[in-house]
């Protein structure tokens, strides 16, 4: 009796060991896949995926990108470890991306749920250069051809133009110009040229006292700033005020500072708002008597030649008040070199 029990117990242990050794290897679960579902041609799109193996074996992955890219197994990584892969598509369309896994014993999972990736053409924003031509009444735009662009859209305020050229002349005063690359229904972000004049107000006095401002100049941003005749402040001055004989004059600052410039003035016909483009260089003068409610054109130049160049800047000024020897002006300054457009927004 005792021997029989021992035999049966030993036999049962042997069966248990044999049964455990013959258990079938289970494949990994289908991977979980995530990443962007849209992009542009050539974009680097990044995807992540992971899964686990029932026996905890190391896992390799195969990614089918949905295009003609080669399909191959990756190197092994730990069960449950997240993997990252980056891919770019060379043509537009909808691609069905999927991934599967296999364990160290080459048991393969099913494919993951596919991820549909919509890829479109993208066109870059053109890099636009601009220069004033034809004496400052035309702004010429030019840019390097954009790869994959079929045409270009030029928006001048509310007017829209299409061209296949890489240059465009704008001859009507505008406040804003935009240039975008176009391919089919796809349009790039625009390059923006801001042509709006910089408007500001300034006050100064028509005397030579050193205790307050005697004139004004334009700073790097185009705002009018009051200046004194004290060094080095006078170096910023473009015009100073001269009050005498019940008349207020604006004078080229070079006359009094010895720093002769081509700055000059002339009366404008019509109101400040109507002065949308400065006159050509003729009939500008170094000294001009000014009156309240009148508008004047200003030319700011770094040289004394009196010849128009893209180094010039043009502005307009309205005399808001003259109280004894104190002057108040509203100014509009065109920042683009050589351009005579003075249109306010």
Task: Show the 3-state SS of the chain.
Answer: CHHHHHHHHHHHHHHHHHHHHCCCCCCCCCCEEECCCEEECCCCEEEEEECCCCCCCCEEEEEECCCCCCCCECCCECCCCCEEEEECCCCCEEEEEEEEEEECCCCECCCCCCEEEEEECCCCCCCEEEEEEHHHCEEEEEECCCCCCCEEEEEECCEEEEECCCEEEECCCCCEEEEEEEECCEECCCEEEECCCEEEEEEEECCCCCCCCCEEEECCCCCEEEECCCCCHHHHCCEEEEEECCEEEEEECHHHHCCCCCCEEEECCCCCCCCCECCCCCCCECEEEECCCCEEEEEECCCCCCCCCCCCEEEEEEEEEEECCEEEEEEEECCCCCCCECCCC
What pLDDT is recorded for position 16? Answer: 42
- Confidence check: pLDDT of 280 > 70: yes
**What is the mean pLDDT of the segment spanning 231-250?**
90
- Confidence check: pLDDT of 112 > 90: yes
The residue with tokens 């242990």 is 13
- Confidence check: pLDDT of 122 > 70: yes
- Confidence check: pLDDT of 8 > 80: no
- Confidence check: pLDDT of 10 > 60: no
Which residue would you say has higher pLDDT here, 259 or 252? Answer: 252
**What is the mean pLDDT of the segment spanning 171-178?**
96
How many Cα atoms occupy the beta-carbon half-sphere of 136 within 13 Å?
A: 25
CA quadruple 199, 200, 201, 205: dihedral sign? negative
Which residue would you say has higher pLDDT here, 104 or 246? Answer: 104
Task: Give the span between the Cα atoms of 152 and 24, in whole angstroms.
Answer: 64
- Confidence check: pLDDT of 339 > 70: yes
**What is the mean pLDDT of the segment spanning 236-264?**
84
Confidence bin at 160 (pLDDT 50/70/90): very high
What pLDDT is recorded for position 258? Answer: 62
- Confidence check: pLDDT of 261 > 80: no
To 10 degrees, the CA torsion angle through 300, 301, 306, 308?
-90
Q: Among candidates 87, 92, 90, which has minimal Cα distance to 49?
A: 87
- Confidence check: pLDDT of 257 > 90: no
Q: Rounded to the nearest 5 degrees, what angle is found at the Cα of 310, between the Cα atoms of 308 and 315?
A: 75
Percent of the chain with pLDDT over 90: 73
Kindly give, in sequence order, each residue whose CB lies less than 8 Å from that of residue 247, ignoring residues fewer than 6 positions away: 289
The residue with tokens 């030993």 is 10
> Which range is least confidently modeled, 54-58, 64-68, 147-151, 190-194?
147-151
The pLDDT tens digits for 201-223 are 999 999 888 888 999 999 999 99
Q: Rounded to the nearest 5 degrees, what angle is found at the Cα of 10, between the Cα atoms of 5 and 16?
A: 125
> Which range is least confidently modeled, 18-27, 173-182, 319-328?
18-27
Which residue would you say has higher pLDDT here, 60 or 92? Answer: 60
**What is the mean pLDDT of the segment spanning 82-102?**
96
**What is the mean pLDDT of the segment spanning 128-132?**
97
Tokens found for residue 58: 């190391």
What pLDDT is recorded for position 22? Answer: 58
Q: Which residues pair with 277 in a beta bridge?
A: 341
Q: Find out whether 226 and 201 touch, Cβ atoms under 8 Å.
A: no
What number of other Cβ atoms are within 10 A of residue 60's Cβ? 19
Tokens found for residue 1: 């009796």
Q: What is the mean pLDDT of the chain?
A: 90
- Confidence check: pLDDT of 55 > 90: yes
**What is the mean pLDDT of the segment spanning 298-325?**
90
Kindly give, in sequence order, each residue whose CB lies less than 8 Å from that of residue 250, ignoring residues fewer than 6 positions away: 215, 239, 240, 241, 242, 265, 287, 288, 290, 296
Write down all domains in the chain, each with its CATH number in brackets: 27-120 (2.60.40.10), 128-194 (2.60.40.10), 198-333 (no CATH)
Which residue would you say has higher pLDDT here, 11 or 195? Answer: 195
- Confidence check: pLDDT of 329 > 90: yes
Task: Give the span between the Cα atoms of 175 and 336, in whole angstroms.
Answer: 12
What pLDDT is recorded for position 259? Answer: 61
Give, for 9, the enclosing helix (H) or strand (E).
helix 2-21
């Amino acid at each position: 009796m005792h021997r029989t029990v021992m035999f049966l117990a030993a036999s049962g242990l042997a069966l248990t060991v044999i049964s455990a050794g013959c258990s079938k290897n289970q494949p990994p679960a289908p991977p979980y896949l995530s990443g962007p579902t849209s992009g542009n041609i050539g974009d680097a799109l990044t995807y992540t995926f992971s899964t686990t193996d029932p026996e905890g074996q190391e896992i390799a992955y195969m990614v089918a990108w949905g295009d003609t890219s080669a399909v191959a197994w990756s190197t092994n990584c730990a069960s449950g470890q997240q993997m990252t892969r980056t891919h770019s598509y060379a043509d537009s369309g909808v691609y069905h991306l999927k991934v599967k896994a296999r364990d160290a014993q080459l048991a393969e999972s099913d494919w993951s749920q596919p991820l549909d990736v919509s890829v479109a053409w993208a066109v870059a924003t053109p890099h636009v250069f601009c220069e004033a031509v034809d004496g400052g009444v035309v702004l010429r735009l030019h840019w390097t051809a954009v790869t994959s662009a079929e045409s270009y859209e030029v928006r001048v305020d509310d007017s829209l133009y299409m061209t296949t050229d890489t240059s465009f002349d704008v001859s009507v005063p505008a406040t804003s110009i935009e240039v975008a690359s176009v391919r089919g229904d796809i349009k790039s972000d625009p390059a923006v040229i801001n042509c709006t004049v910089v408007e500001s107000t300034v006050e100064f006095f028509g005397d030579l006292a050193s205790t307050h401002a005697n004139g004004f100049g334009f700073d790097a941003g185009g705002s009018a700033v009051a200046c004194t005749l004290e060094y080095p402040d006078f170096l910023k001055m473009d015009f100073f005020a001269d009050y005498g004989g019940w008349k207020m004059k604006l004078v080229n600052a070079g006359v009094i500072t010895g720093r002769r410039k081509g700055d000059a003035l002339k009366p404008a016909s019509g109101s400040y708002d109507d002065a949308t483009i400065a006159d050509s260089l003729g009939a500008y003068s170094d000294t001009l008597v000014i009156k309240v409610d009148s508008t004047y054109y200003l030319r700011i130049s770094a040289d004394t030649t009196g010849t128009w160049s893209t180094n010039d800047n043009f502005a307009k000024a309205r005399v808001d008040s003259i109280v004894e020897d104190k002057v108040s002006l509203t100014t509009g300054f065109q920042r683009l070199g050589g351009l005579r457009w003075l249109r306010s927004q």
